Amino acid sequence: MRLARSPPWRVGIRALRANQVVAFAQRRFRATSPPRALEQLREGFVATVSHELRTPLALIRGYTDTILHLHLEPGEQRQYLERIDHATERLTTLVQEILDIAHLQADPLTLECAPASFASLVARLRGDLAATGNDHRLVAKIPDGLPLVNVDATRIAQVLENLVSNALKYAQTETSIVIGASVSDDWLTATVDDEGVGIPESDRALVLEPFHRGRNARESSIQGTGLGLYICRRLVEAHGGKLRLADRTDGCSGTRVSFTLPLVVAEAGP
Amino acid sequence: MNESILIVEDEPEFAALLERWISQAGYRPSIARTGHEALRMFYEQYPDLLVLDASLPGLDGWQVIERVREFSRVPIGISSPTWTSIVSVCATWRSTSHRRSSGS
């Protein structure tokens, strides 16, 4: 067998996909990003696509071929269907995140802000978590009578959902995720505490940028795209708030994510 | 005794799928997760075919091929990022192996 050092078909596949992704990034980000940011996005897209997009697609194809062409026991068929379901879920998340990023780069980002109760946003999240059987892990420590926040409720619900699913993903099973809230001046500060692997201090600024994951997260078997926290930060910033990562204040291991949201400001009387 | 195939693949789900296909086709599969493990298993087993992923952590697929080629003429297949090509590599080898064993 003659060995080619770099088979042409393989190079062809790589080049085509990388070009398509770079073209996508250029279309989406040319107008609003400085060249260095574009370069980072380009590198990030190529790196992410090479693994996070291609792997689940190839797995779906592999499992489908296996079900179609091999003689399988019913139990084995079901196991492969569950794997297809899992891979599809991974792909759906990534595609949604890429679309979110495209939306975030729109200038200006359109928010539909209206008075909303933070406690009811958390209650809505609990309802969503009930579908996955994880609602009992969510502990809300929210004082009664908090003033309303002036936010795009859909977007802030997305931030909460993203932070809590991150926490569930990186924490040991059956540990709690605690959501807290406090008010100072014209801002509500929300906190999400988990008992997960934590984010090393040196990685904290970086993981808020697109396609970056903490070193310990990359080294774990937990899958992720490095987009979730960036999307949360951009959405909070679009409301004028700030999102920060810190250690938990109670000395437990894990991460505290805190973010600020604007309160509804009472209009001046006549 | 059936021919043996050493698969080198770091993605466990792909490795399990390849193992399933290869045993269904009547061969004896074994799996290495890294380049180093591949070389160790190669020295131990001397498989009839080596199928490897070119992008492996640590010692990559091309480096494994260079080391193996220093002392062996074993057929080698490179698995591609698409599932179809992995299967076609195996299928091609199978047909040539049959031709060889039937004396053609």
In this predicted structure, the answer to whether residue A7 has a pLDDT above a threshold of 50 is no
What is the model's pLDDT at position A242?
95
For the cut 90, the answer to whether the pLDDT of residue A55 exceeds it is no
Flag whether residue A61 sits within 8 Å of chain B, measured between CB atoms. Answer: yes
Nearest alpha carbon to residue B61 among B72, B75, B70, B51: B51
Q: Is A10 on the interface with B (CB under 8 A)?
A: yes
| Terminal CA-CA length for chain A | 89
Chain B contact for A83 (CB, 8 A cutoff): yes
Q: What is the pLDDT of residue A74?
A: 92
pLDDT at A10 over 50: no
E strand residue ranges, chain A: 114-116, 138-141, 149-151, 177-184, 187-193, 243-247, 255-262
Q: Is B20 on the interface with A (CB under 8 A)?
A: yes
* Cβ atoms of A165 and A194 closer than 8 Å: no
| Predicted ipTM of the assembly | 0.73
Task: Give the model confidence (pLDDT) of A190-199 as tens digits.
Answer: 999 988 877 8
Residues in chain B closer than 8 A to A71 (CB atoms): 24
pLDDT, one tens digit per residue, over A143-160 is 999 999 999 999 999 999
pLDDT in tens, A157-170: 999 999 998 888 88
Write the residue in B54, B62, B81 that is nearest to A58 by C-beta. Answer: B81
pLDDT greater than 80 at residue A231: yes
Which of B17, B75, B80 faces A62 most closely, judged by CB atoms? B17
pLDDT digits (tens, 9 = 90+) for A90-108: 888 888 888 887 777 766 6
Q: Do A9 and B80 touch (CB under 8 A)?
A: yes
* Greatest CA separation for chain B: 40
Please judge whether B14 and A59 are an interchain contact, meaning their C-beta atoms are less than 8 angstroms apart.
yes
Residues of B in Cβ contact (< 8 Å) with A66:
17, 20-21
> pLDDT per residue over B52-92, tens digit each?
887 787 788 889 988 998 888 888 888 766 665 555 454 44
* Section A32-38 average pLDDT: 57
Average pLDDT over residues A10-32: 43
Task: Give the three-state DSSP class for A244.
Answer: strand
Strands B49-53 and B76-79 come out as parallel
8-state DSSP, A232: H
B17–A5: do the CB atoms touch at under 8 Å? no
B1 to chain A, closest Cα gap in Å: 23
Find the residue in A nearest to B25 (Cα).
A70
What pLDDT is attached to residue B2? Answer: 86
Report for A186-190, A218-222, A252-256: range of highest mean pLDDT: A186-190
Query: Looking at residue A108, what is its pLDDT?
Result: 67
Point out the residue among A3, A10, A62 whose CB comes nearest to the CB of B80. A10
- Of A78-87, A134-143, A261-270, B5-14, where does mean pLDDT reach its minimum? A261-270
Mean pLDDT, chain A, as a whole number? 79
